[in-house]
Structure 1
Amino acid sequence: MLAAKIATRTACHRHWARLSSTAAAPSSYKVVVIGGGAGGLAVSSTLSKQLGKNEVAVVEPSATHYQQPLFTFVGGGLKSFEETYRPTSEVIAPEAQWINQAAAQIDPDSNTITLADGTKVAYEYLVVAAGIELDFAGIKGLKSAIGKNGVASNYSPQYVQKTFEFLQNVKEGNALFTMPATPVKCAGAPQKIAYLADELFREKGIRDKVAVNYYTALGKIFAIDKYANAMNEIARSRDVSVNLFHDLIEVDGAAKRATFKVLGSGPQTGETVTVPYEFLHVTPPMKPFDFIKNSDIANAAGFVDVDKGTLQHTKYPNIYSIGDCSSLPTSKTAAAAAAQSSVLKHNLLNQIRGTNAPAAEYNGYTSCPLVTGKNKLVLAEFSGYTGAPQETFFFNQAKEHAFSYWVTAEALPAIYWSSMLKGTWDGPAVIRRFANPTSAN
């Protein structure tokens, strides 16, 4: 207990030291990075080392950085919540200036951003890595039901621990798991928790009393056919009911009832279906942040409009974007951000230095580790641009494998803290050359 208090006190001192330096921060930087998530830190860590102290600023309002890919393991009772976070002050590179505020406005014509307190910060180059906003208010009744009434979500640090708590309380009835129609980060996460719940119910000897139902607003269980076929077979073998084109539109927490709208083009299109539940895991709709959507750097959908190869803005050449807030047409994952970070840093540093080196090109690589049980996982790796698998290892990664589970549950979290956030992990491309040189799968 004493050691924990000392560690907490030390972290607080470091945090307030960074805040005090923010108060005296300059108002102009060579590079401003909006967002202190995985992508933003992967970029800012390298740029700040290359360009020198206080040439790079990171605009990030949260005092805590979460390793979000671990949330599924927390919700499934496989890891502790404490493993998922560290103080932001400890993960931002010491050469970078942390501006501990939210961005409120971007003016690309004047090369300034306005912070939540009205302060303006000028930049020569801007990297937008703000992520995507969870829209719990986008489903009627959800905000008042979430965190109680058997309703949880692995997508929020506020509610992820409720998932395992509520799953343990289930004795019979319907367990529902949802996927919305909007773009989401980590699109496999909505179904991963369904398989972990199925396993938990079997261990408790109540699986015959609990119906496990996956409702997705999309027309497929997974976007890439190779992995969709695998997941459909796994769902069938576990008796997980898959309901396509069903979009959650309302939650009645008091009555424990969920209402879905039927999408698609079938005979029931436009109708609503109400289902009672004992447990409900909700993947909330997601949307671009307003300060991006309402700016001149956004496309019609509200995402930062960048070239899908170079990650450079299509109109403003001194602006780049990475990760979930970008218009890049691939799955929004930390793995994608890692690969994108290498391309972005190469191209931006070339521009800053005025070199004529060829531009690096991002090929759409992303990865979605689909946990299907304890020590079981389908490791989907593919290009979101072409749909072709880009598997790192020589075996067929569409098959459940204990090694894939170990990579995801143990190796990648360690790489995340020790390498990705420090800007030295660009994804598994180098490993792939040795582990799967012929792209066998």
Structure 2
Amino acid sequence: MENFERNLEKYAELVIKIGVNLTSGQDLLVEAPYECLDLTRLIVQKAYEAGANFVHVHFQDDVISRSKFDHGTEASVDYYPTWYTTMLERFVENGGALLNIKVPNPDLYEGIEAAKISRNSKAAAKARAKYQHYVRTGAFSWCLIKAPTEAWAAKVYADLPADQRVSAMWDAVFKINRVYEEDPVAAWRVHLDELRRMRKVLNDRGYKALCYRAEGTDLRVALPEGHIWLGGDKENASGIRYVANMPTEEVFTMPERTGVRGTVTSTKPLNINGALVDRFSFTFDEGKVVDFTAEVGYEHLAKLLEMDEGARYLGEVALVPFDSPISNLNRIFYNTGIDENASCHLALGSCYPINIKDGASLTNDELKARGGNTSLIHVDFMIGTADLDIDGELADGSVEPIFRAGNWALTF
């Protein structure tokens, strides 16, 4: 690729300056696949140039991750080390920042029993509950980014010759992150300002509910009193602004836990802990999933919904126009962090407490009393289409269009 090394360096600088917005004297934890060594080295360099106190890299590998299921004992499936979660908690409490190159292989656990994957995911979620609370309340700066691996590129660009797939994936990653701009950091600041304007308009409207209509979808989602739309960057407990997911094109809030009714149909495949689920739908009544279908991965979806009581309720509602940079690439990335930013989406499981006034200080019981959902999981699934219409119900009972034919009907 032309100017690849320079673009890689620009990307590393971007995720340090905009993603985690690292400040002088901070520690940084980088989680990365071994295949992303070159990018990881640049990220570490840029972190130290930004004044990092210490950078620790935790490398990951698909073969090692799968080995537990292929060769481990039954006990190992249900085990997650508390010493590791304790380390994460202390890291957050000492003011660290996290940068995760998150590129799971969509076919990693093909052939593994759904029950085993579910048990392992539940053990991890229970052990990481306190740390996840820090994540969802914005206690510290964290950012999920993307970089090609051979397995992921082979899935996304299966239509290309094998020797062209990783390059094509890099091209996509650079495009959706505005790396090709002369000054990506400045371009991102403009983009974040645009998302800030969107969420201000939505917060000023104060909708009571959103009503979705498309082929296979007829859904009403009530919104709790005091809900807050977020999107783009957010402020952590120390007042530092960061971007939790790069790329990002969404604005999002929390639904009323028991206020979801109707049916919704997915529009993109979903990667659940290394297992693929596709062509699925949910029927909700009083907020709860009372029926569901799936043509691919039904058993994995069933296990997800059994994770805990809150797994059958929604925790997030997000709006993304169909005519947007990622959607216009016309490519399924089998990666929630990208696909959710190409499509309107919902999320099963825990809400983000920061999506309601004073939510970060609420206990789980207080959060539920305010209309929020709590769960071990938070799993986004995509519902956006070119024919999606969304109406907003206002406090006075009137209705106005928010989306028409998949795109914004509001003016920002």
TMscore range, shorter length = under 0.3
TM-score of the aligned structures, taking structure 2 as reference length: 0.26
Report which of the two structures shows the higher radius of gyration computed on alpha carbons: 1
**TM-score normalised according to structure 1 size:** 0.25
